[in-house]
Each structure stands twice: as structure tokens, then as C-alpha cells.
Amino acid sequence: MASPSFRAGAVQIRVPATSANLGPGFDALGLALALYDVVAVRVVDKGLHVDIAGEGADSVRRDRNNLVVRSMQAAFDILGGQPRGLEVICANRIPHGRGLGSSAAAIVAGICAARAVVLGGMSDEDVLRLATEIEGHPDNVAACLYGGATVAWIDADGPHASSLQVHSDVNPVVFVPGNTRQSTKAARSGLPVELAHADAALTAGRAALLVHAIASHPNLLFPATEDRLHQPFRLADQPHAAALVEKLRGAGIAAVLSGSGPSVLALATSPEQAELASSFAGHDFVPSQLPVDRSGAVEQSAS
């Protein structure tokens, strides 16, 4: 493969936060939310300069082990070669370690930035494949890339995703704890190896109902978000999130753990229900009404 040609000017990529699983859609369903990280990238003559503002400014690495940079380098390898140098500026708003897809956002932003600076790039399917390889599962990266709601799966030939229309009555409310973080790897280690057939059957049926509810009949979101596959085990280790989910569901609001937590997602079905949900603050959770992002990862003008 010939060495790639690189764009002279800067590129800017905006990527949304995501909430995965949505209850019963374990490792498959994802929803993009209107809270964004923005990454600006410029090819320079030599070296690597990484600047970070906002979330992670005091903790995220500024070298080649930065997740955005690693994802860019993986994409450049596929695209034909590395640039001589890079300037990377990250403006982060997605909370880290809170179950809102911050790592997926970094990965998708890095890959999309790499294809944007190379003249002749990658397809969305190629981006999804590489992002899934880096992330380890496709649910968050699919929603981040495509926006809206997505169903993702992995076949023998790799990951795939299909987009769902999200009904206009779906009003997400996210409850983000101020101090608590959760490792996805640690949360997965607490899941059982085996599950009762009745629990698996119920969860499969609710996942199918959830696809129907989020696209066409949001009045069914409350029963559609019942899950026995992963949430009971994760919530047992997150008592504050468990109490908030119980309180919201007790008021008839479809509430779930966002990803592996500790954030909680409520899928309100009207502005009035969203306001009601927002009044249910518990422990150090801060509620935010976040519209559904319907654009996914987008290249913006880098002025």
C-alpha cells in the first residue's frame, strides 16, 4: 500500500456520550446522548503534543498511551502509515468511569480523526470493526458512531450494527454520581457463569420488546426495561444506584443502570415525566435531561 497523503489543515471530531444495555439489551443495545467530547487533530512536522481540557484533564495521559492517540495510530496503520507528527487537543465533557461511554467516545473520535486527516479513508463499517477490536464489545462504539439507538452484534466476519429510530417521546434523564466510578472489567467479573432458563427467557423477551418500545411505543418502556441477566448482580454491588433505580421504577419511570454503572438512566416518556424523574436525586447523583443524539460522530469545521 502506498503511503497516505495527509490533510494540511486541522480536523475536528465531535462524539456523543452513550448508554449501553438499556436494561435487557446486554452488550447489544446502545443509545447516544447529547453530551459531547470534541477532538481536534492536526498533522505536524514531528513529535506528539496532546492537550486535554475538561474531564480527565488531571489524570488522562498525554503521550502515545492516550486512548485517542492509540486509536488514531491503529487507524493510521490500516490507512497506510503514520504521520510525522501530531497535535491532538481534547475537550472532554463525558464523565469518565461513570457508564456513559467515555472510552468508546475516545476510540471513535481517534479513528474518525485519523480517517479525516488521510485523503482517502475508511468506511463506517471499517471504523466499527476497529473500534470494537479496541473496545472489546460493540454496543457503545456503535451508538457513538451512528447516533440514535443501535443494535450491535458480532458474527464470524466481525461486528455489525443496525440503527433504530428513537420515538420523539423518549426523554432521557441521566443521573451521574459525583465521586463514584465503576470499572467495566470489574463489573463483568461479578456476573454469574450460568443463569436460570426462566430468567434468560424473560430477558430475551424484554429485549425484543425494548426494540419495539423505543422506536414505536414508548408507553411500553417500563416493562421493556426489566432485566435479569446483569442488573440484579451489578446493582447488588452498587447500593446507591440500586436505591435510585428502585425509587424511579416505583414511580412508574423506566430506569436502568447505564452500562455497568454507576450512572443511572431514566427513559421518560414525556417532558412532564422527565421533570418528575429529575426530582429523584439520591446520594450524590446529579440528574441531567439529555436529548437523544441523532447524529453520532461528526466532522466539524476546525476554525
pLDDT digits (tens, 9 = 90+) for 267-278: 999 999 999 999
Alpha-carbon gap, residue 281 to 266, rounded angstroms: 12
pTM: 0.95
The CATH label, of 2.40.110.10, 3.30.230.10, 3.40.190.10, 3.40.80.10, for the domain at 11-164+293-300 is 3.30.230.10
Domain at 171-289, CATH from 2.30.31.10, 3.30.70.890, 3.30.110.40, 3.90.550.10: 3.30.70.890
When pLDDT is averaged across residues 57-74 and rounded to a whole number, the result is: 96
C-alpha cell at 8: 494540511
Beta carbons within 8 Å of 150's beta carbon, 6+ residues apart:
29, 30, 32, 139, 142, 143, 161, 162, 163, 164
- Residue 183: predicted pLDDT: 66
One-letter identity of residue 292: V
Would you kindly state where each structural domain of the chain is located, as residue ranges? 11-164+293-300, 171-289
Predicted confidence band at 286 (pLDDT cuts at 50, 70, 90)?
Answer: very high
pLDDT-derived band at 186, boundaries 50, 70, 90: low
Q: What is the pLDDT of residue 193?
A: 87
Is the pLDDT score of 23 beyond 90? Answer: yes
What's the pLDDT tens digit per position in 115-173?
Answer: 999 987 899 999 999 999 999 999 999 999 999 999 999 999 999 999 999 999 999 99
Does the pLDDT of residue 254 top 90, yes or no?
Answer: yes
State what percent of residues in the chain have pLDDT above 70. Answer: 95
In the predicted model, is pLDDT for residue 303 greater than 80?
no
